[in-house]
Amino acid sequence: MKSSVYAQIASIKDYNMALTDPPHLSRLYNDLKWYNKFDIIIKKNIFEGVSKRGIENAHKTFVMSKWNSNEFKKIYKVQPKIIHPGIFGEYNKKGVTCKILHSKKNLNLISVGRLVKSKNLIWLLLAVKYLLDKNKKNKFFKDINLKILGSGPELKNLKDLSKKLNIAKNIKFYGSVSESKKNKLILESHINLIAAYSAYNLPALESIRMGVPVVINEACRMSEVLKNNIMAVNTKNNQTNFIKNLDNYIERLKKLRIKNYKVNHLPTFNKWANDLSTACEWYGN
């Protein structure tokens, strides 16, 4: 959104615009209390007006998902082209193979991302509590563990909640880790949990490339990319549905053997860059 303002301030005449975040995730659209009414007026009359002209004056506009496209079309006079971002590198042409969920062995879950409220990490702790209570009855797994990678302001609240739920020994907080350490921990896991409310989520694709399935909140707006993919389960944007779908997926994986499953149709950075360059007509004839 800021780039649209810069384009107007700089009086740029011929430009294309890649809109990464949808309007509702912009600070501009955050709810403000009544005593911030003056700020609202300033934002509406200046920032919104300038950014609107910046977006609508662009030669072409690009967004990351159909969901984002629909949101922009409702607010601005644009017809954005959808180009899905992808991850660096390529997917194995032979496909991916997932770890088997063995009886009397540990179930290892993982979450990667900044510890902020929008990541809905409380859902993950409640999910572990639910799964542990269920496992006390059926005793399928030896134990259930959740690794949480990342740092942020919610760390203390999450640690306090894990103690309150009596699951602290099953939750391990790693803080910020190196890329190699992150990949090692993901590879050791059975399922990657992504409850975040976000515009997109490239780590989901990274996880799938490594053969680790994801249970992902549809509000992260990747459902159209991961649709009909056995490596991913899209849940509704609420705690109950997330936990229910995770539980159902675990039951399914107990019986399912995912071997050499093709995922090379998923987007990569090279494909995104090529599609964007072609759409912007940056290649010579």
Angstrom CA distances, 91 to 41, 105, 153, 257, stand at 48, 29, 34, 20
Token code pair at residue 158: 């999450």
**So what's the pLDDT on residue 28?**
45
- Give the integer Cα–Cα distance in Å for 227 and 219: 14
DSSP H helix total and E strand total for the chain = 10, 9
CATH superfamily, region 107-255: Glycogen Phosphorylase B; (3.40.50.2000)
**So what's the pLDDT on residue 29?**
44
Q: Which of 218, 278, 264, 213 is nearest to 87 (CA)?
A: 264
Answer for the pair 83, 275: CB distance below 8 angstroms, yes or no.
yes
Token code pair at residue 175: 């803080």
Q: Which of 66, 55, 61, 9 is nearest to 28 (CA)?
A: 55
**List of the chain residues with pLDDT < 50:** 27-32, 34-35
Domain spans of the chain?
Answer: 2-82, 107-255
**So what's the pLDDT on residue 38?**
60
Helix, strand, or coil (residue 77):
coil
**So what's the pLDDT on residue 248?**
98
Q: What is the amino acid identity at position 76?
A: Y
**So what's the pLDDT on residue 134?**
98
Burial 60-97 (b: 16+ CB within 10 A, else e): bbbbbbebbbebbeeebebebbebbbbbeeebeeeebe
- Give the integer Cα–Cα distance in Å for 195 and 214: 10
| E strand or H helix at 125 | helix 121-138
Q: What is the amino acid identity at position 236?
A: K
